[in-house]
Amino acid sequence: MEVTQTTIPRTSARSGWLASLEKAAPFLALGLAALAFPLLGDSYWGVIVTRACVYWVLVAGLNMVVGFAGQIAIGWVGLLTLGAYTTSAMTAGTAMPEVSPYLALVAAAAIGALFGLIVGLPALRLRTFYFAMATLGFSTIVTQVALAWKSVTGGGIGVAGPVFGWPFTGNWGFYYFCLLIAALCTWMTINIAGSRFGRALVAIRDAEVAAEASGIAKSQLLMTVFLFSGALAGVAGGLFSSLQSYITPDAFTFDLSVLFFIAILIGGRGSVLGPLLGALLLTALPEVAAPLVAWSTFLYAALLLAIVLAVPGGIADLLDFKNRRPLERHREVVPRPEMLTRLLGGEGSVLSLANVVLSFGGVRAIDGLDLDVRPGEVHGLIGPNGSGKTTTLNVISGYYAPQSGSVRLGDAVLPPGAARVRASHRIARTFQTPRVIGGASVLDNVKIGGTIDGHGSFVEAMLTLPRHRRDEAVLRERALLALSAVGLESLADVRADRLQHSELRFVEIARALMLAPSILLLDEPAAGLSAEEIRRLGALIKSISRAGTSVLLVEHHADLIFDICDRVTVLNLGKVLAAGTPDEIRSHREVVSAYLGA
Amino acid sequence: MIESIVSYGLAVGAVYALIGITYNVMFSASRVFSFTAGMLGMLGGVLGALFIGKLGLPTIVGFVLVLACGAVLGVITEIVAVRPVLKSIEQHLYVLSTLAFALLIQQFTAIEWGTEAQPFPRLIPISSGWFDQQFWLPLLACAATIVGLELLYRRTLVGRAFLAIAEDSYAARALGLPEQRLRLASFALAGIIGALAGFTGGEMLLAFFGNQAILSFYGFVPVALGGMGSNRGAVIGGLALGLFQQAANFLVGGIFAAVAVFVVFIAVLLLRPEGLAGAAASRRV
Amino acid sequence: MPTSAREPLLEVRDLAAGYGKIGVLHGVQLTVGAGEAVALLGPNGAGKTTLLRAISGLLPRTGQIRFAGKDMSSAGPRDAVSAGLVHVVEGHRVFTQLTVFDNLLLAGYGMPRAARARQVEEALAFFPEIAEKRRNLAATLSGGQQQMLAVAQGLVRRPRLLMLDEPSAGLSPVLVDRVLLAAAKLREAGTAILLVEQLIEKALATADRVYALARGTIVLEARTDEADLPNRLEQAYFGQGAHAPLQS
């Protein structure tokens, strides 16, 4: 181990303008190429590149839904259709007096946002396949309505698309208009991706339970993203109808939906650059290989199947050279508890459970449990299988609502159930099986724990306004501190799925520390750790409690429990069998019997 | 008018119900909702028109060939798009892999068969009345499927093994049941049922590659309404959906029918996600 | 192995298994002789259920498993069952939507029809209580009866080794005795038994020999008639660092 200094190392998690330039370089290069493109003077390719820009406007928004939030939206062409007909009908005056195309474009954004939200609603409650079906059904129905509502859409005959006036006149003028909007969308989605909102979306996708425990409001966030994505799809529809100059329902085939969707998966989930390249590639591909035009959707589908089965990470993974460098083989996690005082602190409060009862279908999992965890202590919770230890943790952290009894933290009564509000009471936890985002860096995983402490709104993050930038700076500093405290700072930039199991346990603790919790719930943190790692874990837990955070520890390793706990509660059949200091517990006849089953 | 609403509505409803059963049979064996259900229905029509209409095979030979193709496609689906992603079912990769596979087949059909809807041959050489064979054939197929499945599940050991795997595949594996082979068999069975739906509904829906998306969605609606895995729910839901659609088409026009079905679908998903007859699922910590 | 003089029926060497990245078992060594009853004890989280799953092939594993003279290291649960190594999983997981009789028929899936019918009757003969209810759905049985049904399912193939995972869990003491009595009867009939059990005294009364599993490895092997066994078990459970004074 090379790290012995006590400051936070800057080498591992690089910051500053050099790193941001490195990240921005591909986008700047693409932007310059796009700006210079008209110099070629090729109007045929001009149309194709304009189309790529229009598609990207939609894909950029859809990327937030599919790539980040992991919701399988396969029918987004329905929103494109809606945006296109809204703009066309408003500028052609089929439904109301004619308006300016720019105004119609704004209206298309609003309608797109509204319907994006409606189509997205099932995703808030239901499993993936239902949402995929809802979007598919939506796109089918929009086409049917477009065909049937002849007075507005012209039915099968169609309606003329808008022509954008000054300053974006002519083909190249329109091209620059689309490019401008596409660039704006790129910038906004990059900002969202790098913000606590982007990370929260990925957390919802890959570690939903942990996201909930960190206080991330899934419904609210997804609804915001559906609005955003719907608005961009509406705008893309308006641009699309202008590009086509005349639209009929035939123009909006399901093939387009497939193209948008696959562009994202080819590009890679959780990336902005990947889907951008994917969208460009898929738009240009049929043009380069003319004989393939008829087969293009077939090829997209084949590509999708190949990607799902072979490279689930997409282009972004192939371009991720940094994470292919081998890691040091014999790594050790050496926590530095002295960092904890800079992270934790404040007055703790007593966590008390009074007469809690929880039964599942007649079986009393917890049967009148009383438990007090005092500020600054390590409290062990042990007992045989099925005695209700993890169930107790789940009651405290709000995953289960007890039938009776109360859970209080200090003076506040914690509402039964409601896992998401636990974070705002400064209750943090880890899980039996570590719940981390495998595709995100260790640092980003830890930042998830501090999500609720941000002040900036989604829009502020999207436009990278000062309040958001302050949030990010604070989050980053605290996350690096938390990582140093658990001894993982040298792995801050590494993808979490490359870590060993034992390291993931420490990542979870670092994430929990981000809340500066008043109580930390640990669910079998020592499972799967070596004896030496358990010793270090014990020392870390002890120091966490001494820095002001009380710890409730569920653990099977009796030696760890007796080593570090100030008090121990033994459960059996959902009731307290014994409580006291480790020494009292060890000599308690009934406890020994319960463990030995006599 | 009322006759045509009832006859057409019930017939389309029977096709939806059969597609719903196709979803269910695959789901029971694998916990996977596969996008290939609509594809099988579409192919039942296209292949029937190809074998009997284009190639001029006798009806019965064409019928058997269509069902055989459905079974083979079911097996290929399981091997290509389901088995590789079953290990990580919580990542929902199956949604993508089955969608990709269904699209592959659909596009292949569009290219080789054409994107125009083509007529489906009359299967039985009798004259048509108001309750024509194009209407009663799907209903007959639906009834036969329900009876056949019931006999399979209640009277044969293989059928009971299907039920066992659907209820608790871990315990079934521990007992030594050949889980993988049974899963393959149920995908073949689903393939037959899906193809049967498309074949018997062929004259009504025509041989058209675009039927895939429509059947995928409208065949899933009864499953969502009736609760996943419930064949009874799928049949009741499918027939009700067909009747409602036709009634609305005739009485208030197509826009309303399409929008109403979608609104009901979303509303049921939001209010009773387990289906109108299903039971609630439990938590996952 | 000084304590198992007989030719081992099951021999497990250097077995390792786990879930994803989490290694649960490390280098487990274990043998069961023909006709022997062996109890597998250990604190919760030690990996007892994982060990049974690894042996029966329900879980991927590395290491060597020999059963009845055959190498079963890479065998799946189907191969294990047909070789006579049957695993009755935890939590009396019977098929509630099927009748008692159908549950038993499924346990003989793939056997010749006549043999299956005969052996289902044999299995039912062990449990007259559920034999009466053979036409009822398994959902209508009590927890104890479901556990008996699960054990009866395990018997249909006349196994040479029956692995029972916590047959007492969730049962009242009377029912526990009944289930364990059935295990003892089987044992007399020559079936070897590997029993995972939380109730140590009951397990010790049923078994000839005992293994204790802690932290994913075997920490103790002993005959059940050895003196001072409870103390040694306790030490094995709580680890080397703990010297629990067990004075009553």
Q: Is residue B125 part of a domain?
A: no
Q: Which residue has the tokens 């009845």?
A: C68
Alpha carbon of A395: minimum distance to chain C alpha carbons (Å): 21
ipTM of the complex: 0.87
Q: Which of C44, C200, C241 sits opposite A556 (nearest CB)?
A: C44
Q: Given a cut of 50, is residue C247 above it in pLDDT? A: no
**B129-179 residue pLDDT tens:** 667 888 899 999 999 999 999 999 989 999 999 999 988 889 999 999 998
Q: What share of chain C is helix, strand, coil (3-state, %, to 5)?
A: 35, 25, 35
Residue C21 DSSP one-character state: T
Give the DSSP letter string of C25-56. EEEEEEEEETT-EEEEE--TTSSHHHHHHHHH
Closest CA to C179 of C190, C156, C195, C161: C195
Q: Each residue of A196-220: b (16+ CB within 10 Å) or e?
A: bbbbbbbbbbbbbbbbbbbbbbbee
Closest CA to B195 of B50, B52, B54, B39: B39
Q: Quickly state the pLDDT bin for B124 (edges 50, 70, 90).
A: confident
Q: Quickly state the pLDDT bin for C115 (edges 50, 70, 90).
A: very high
**Residue A147: its pLDDT value, please?**
87
Contact state of B283 with A130 under an 8 Å Cβ cutoff: no
Q: Which residue has the tokens 């389309």?
A: B12
Residue A509 CA to residue A513 CA, distance in Å, equals: 6
Average of per-residue pLDDT across A510-539: 91
Whether residue B54 contacts residue B63, with contact meaning beta carbons closer than 8 Å, is answered with: no
Our CA angle for C2, C8, C12, nearest 5°, is 95
**Residue A341: its pLDDT value, please?**
85
**Residue C170: its pLDDT value, please?**
66
Residue B218 CA to residue C68 CA, distance in Å, equals: 55
Q: Which residue has the tokens 């895939």?
A: B212
What does the CA dihedral A265, A271, A275, A277 come to, rounded to 10 degrees?
-130
Q: Which two tokens stand for residue A114?
A: 């509204």
Q: Which amino acid is present at A363?
A: V
| Least confident residue range of B270-284, C72-86, C166-180 | B270-284
Residue A540 CA to residue A563 CA, distance in Å, equals: 12
Average of per-residue pLDDT across A414-421: 89
Closest CA to B261 of B242, B280, B278: B242
In this structure, what CATH number is given to the domain that contains residue B28? 1.10.3470
Q: Given a cut of 60, is residue C6 above it in pLDDT? A: no
**Residue A596: its pLDDT value, please?**
55
**Residue B196: its pLDDT value, please?**
97
Output the 3-class SS for A492-542: CCCEHHHCCHHHHHHHHHHHHHCCCCCEEEEECCCCCCCHHHHHHHHHHHH
Q: Given a cut of 90, is residue A59 above it in pLDDT? A: yes
**B232-246 residue pLDDT tens:** 889 999 999 999 988
Task: Specify the CATH class of A337-596 in words.
Answer: alpha beta
- In angstroms, the Cα distances linking A491 to A312, A333, A377, A479 are 24, 10, 30, 12
Beta-carbon neighbour count of residue A428 at 10 Å?
A: 27
CATH fold for the domain made of A42-285+293-319:
ABC transporter involved in vitamin B12 uptake, BtuC (1.10.3470)
* Paired residues of C37 in beta bridges: C193
What phi, psi does A221 have (nearest 5°)? -65, -45
Q: Which two tokens stand for residue A28?
A: 């700047």
- In angstroms, the Cα distances linking A315 to A51, A271, A403, C151 are 22, 9, 50, 52
- Between positions 70 and 89 of A, the ones with CB within 8 A of B are 70, 72, 74
**Residue C67: its pLDDT value, please?**
93
**Residue B130: its pLDDT value, please?**
65
Rg (CA), chain C: 18
Average of per-residue pLDDT across A20-42: 87
A-C contacts (CB, under 8 Å): 69
Indicate the number of domains in chain B. Answer: 1
Q: Counting every residue, how long is chain A? A: 598
Q: Which residues lie closer than 8 Å to A445 by C-beta, 6 or more apart? A: A436, A437, A496, A507, A511
Q: Which residues lie closer than 8 Å to A469 by C-beta, 6 or more apart? A: none
> What residue ranges do the domains of chain C occupy?
8-238
Q: Quickly state the pLDDT bin for A401 (edges 50, 70, 90).
A: very high
Average of per-residue pLDDT across A333-349: 84
Residue C11 CA to residue C67 CA, distance in Å, equals: 6
What is the pTM assigned to this prediction?
A: 0.86
Q: Write down which chains contact chain A via at least 3 CB pairs under 8 A.
A: B, C
- DSSP three-state, residue C212: strand
**A215-274 residue pLDDT tens:** 999 999 999 999 999 999 999 999 999 999 999 998 898 888 888 988 998 888 889 999
Domain extent, residue B38, equals: 2-120+132-271
- Side-chain-side CA neighbours of residue A244 (13 Å): 25
Q: Which of A125, A130, A304 sits opposite B100 (nearest CB)?
A: A304
Q: Which two tokens stand for residue A72?
A: 């399988």
Whether residue B44 contacts residue B196, with contact meaning beta carbons closer than 8 Å, is answered with: yes
- In angstroms, the Cα distances linking A470 to A195, A511, B236, C148 are 11, 20, 58, 64
Give the DSSP letter string of B119-144. ----SS-S---SS-HHHHHHHHHHHH
The strands making up A404-409's β-sheet, listed across from edge to edge, are A363-373, A351-360, A404-409, A412-413
What phi, psi does B183 have (nearest 5°)? -65, -45
Which segment, A539-543, B276-280, C125-129, is predicted with the most confidence on average? A539-543
Interhelix angle for B231-251 vs B211-226, to 10°? Answer: 120
**C35-71 residue pLDDT tens:** 899 999 887 778 899 999 999 999 999 999 999 989 9
Please, what sign has the CA dihedral across residues A234, A239, A244, A247?
positive
Q: Is residue B126 part of a domain?
A: no
Residue B19 CA to residue C65 CA, distance in Å, equals: 46
Give chain A's mean pLDDT: 88
**B65-104 residue pLDDT tens:** 999 999 999 999 999 999 988 877 667 788 889 999 999 9
- DSSP three-state, residue A425: helix
| Least confident residue range of A308-317, A344-353, B167-176, B202-211 | A308-317
Tell me whether B113 touches chain A (CB under 8 Å).
Answer: no
Q: Given a cut of 60, is residue B112 above it in pLDDT? A: yes
Q: Which of A363, A562, A595 sits opposite C43 (nearest CB)?
A: A595
Q: Which of B163, B176, B178 sits opposite C95 (nearest CB)?
A: B163
Residue B273 CA to residue B280 CA, distance in Å, equals: 8
- DSSP three-state, residue C141: coil
Closest CA to A195 of A470, A405, A556: A470
Contact state of B93 with A308 under an 8 Å Cβ cutoff: yes
Residue A394 CA to residue A388 CA, distance in Å, equals: 10
- DSSP three-state, residue A321: helix
Whether residue B82 contacts residue A276, with contact meaning beta carbons closer than 8 Å, is answered with: no
Contact state of C242 with A595 under an 8 Å Cβ cutoff: no
Contact state of A586 with C234 under an 8 Å Cβ cutoff: no
Q: Given a cut of 50, is residue B280 above it in pLDDT? A: no
Contact state of A558 with C24 under an 8 Å Cβ cutoff: no
Q: Given a cut of 60, is residue C5 above it in pLDDT? A: no
Average of per-residue pLDDT across A25-31: 91
Beta-carbon neighbour count of residue A404 at 10 Å?
A: 11
Contact state of C198 with A563 under an 8 Å Cβ cutoff: no
Tally DSSP H helices, then E strands, for chain C: 9, 10
Q: Which of A134, A304, A308 sits opposite B269 (nearest CB)?
A: A134
**A172-211 residue pLDDT tens:** 899 999 999 999 999 999 999 999 999 999 999 889 899 9
Q: Quickly state the pLDDT bin for A133 (edges 50, 70, 90).
A: confident
Give chain C's mean pLDDT: 85
**B245-270 residue pLDDT tens:** 888 888 887 778 888 888 888 888 88
| C128 vs B147, more confident | B147
Alpha carbon of C12: minimum distance to chain B alpha carbons (Å): 19
Instruction: Give the homologous superfamily in CATH for domain C8-238.
Output: P-loop containing nucleotide triphosphate hydrolases (3.40.50.300)
Q: Is residue B37 part of a domain?
A: yes
Residue A23 DSSP one-character state: H
Q: Which amino acid is present at A287?
A: E
Give the DSSP letter string of A52-121. HHHHHHHHHHHHIIIIIS------THHHHHHHHHHHHHHHHTSSSS---HHHHHHHHHHHHHHHHHHHHH
Question: A427-429 and C22-33: which strand pairing?
Answer: unpaired
Q: Given a cut of 80, is residue C234 above it in pLDDT? A: no
**CATH 1.10.3470 intervals, chain A:** 42-285+293-319
Per CB-CB distance under 8 Å, the chain C contacts of B177 are: 78, 106, 109
Q: Given a cut of 80, is residue A335 above it in pLDDT? A: yes
Residue C99 DSSP one-character state: B
Tell me whether A363 touches chain C (CB under 8 Å).
Answer: yes
Tell me whether C105 touches chain B (CB under 8 Å).
Answer: yes
The burial of A36, by beta-carbon neighbours within 10 Å (0-12 exposed, 13-18 middle, 19 or more buried), is given as: exposed
**Residue A3: its pLDDT value, please?**
40
Q: Quickly state the pLDDT bin for C1 (edges 50, 70, 90).
A: very low
Q: Which of A130, A254, A295 sits opposite B224 (nearest CB)?
A: A130
Q: Quickly state the pLDDT bin for A320 (edges 50, 70, 90).
A: confident
Give the DSSP letter string of chain B. -HHHHHHHHHHHHHHHHHHHHHHHHHHHHHS---THHHHHHHHHHHHHIIIIIIS---HHHHHHHHHHHHHHHHHHHIIIIIGGGGGGGGGTHHHHHHHHHHHHHHHHHHHHH-SS-B----SS-S---SS-HHHHHHHHHHHHHHHHHHHHHHH-HHHHHHHHHHH-HHHHHHTT--HHHHHHHHHHHHHHHHHHHHHHTHHHH-B-TTHHHHHHHHHHHHHHHH-TT-HHHHHHHHHHHHHHHHHHHHHT-HHHHHHHHHHHHHHHHHH-TT-SS--------
Question: C61-67 and C161-165: which strand pairing?
Answer: unpaired
Which segment, A270-274, A481-485, C189-193, is predicted with the most confidence on average? A481-485
Q: Which residue has the tokens 């190498």?
A: C71
Tell me whether A133 touches chain B (CB under 8 Å).
Answer: yes
What phi, psi does C62 have (nearest 5°)? -120, 160
Q: Quickly state the pLDDT bin for A6 (edges 50, 70, 90).
A: very low
**Residue A531: its pLDDT value, please?**
84
Q: Which amino acid is present at B47?
A: L
Residue B156 CA to residue B154 CA, distance in Å, equals: 6
Closest CA to C198 of C15, C51, C49, C59: C49
**B7-64 residue pLDDT tens:** 999 999 999 999 999 999 999 888 888 999 999 999 999 999 999 999 999 999 999 9
| Least confident residue range of A325-329, B22-26, B215-219, C116-120 | A325-329
| B279 vs A92, more confident | A92
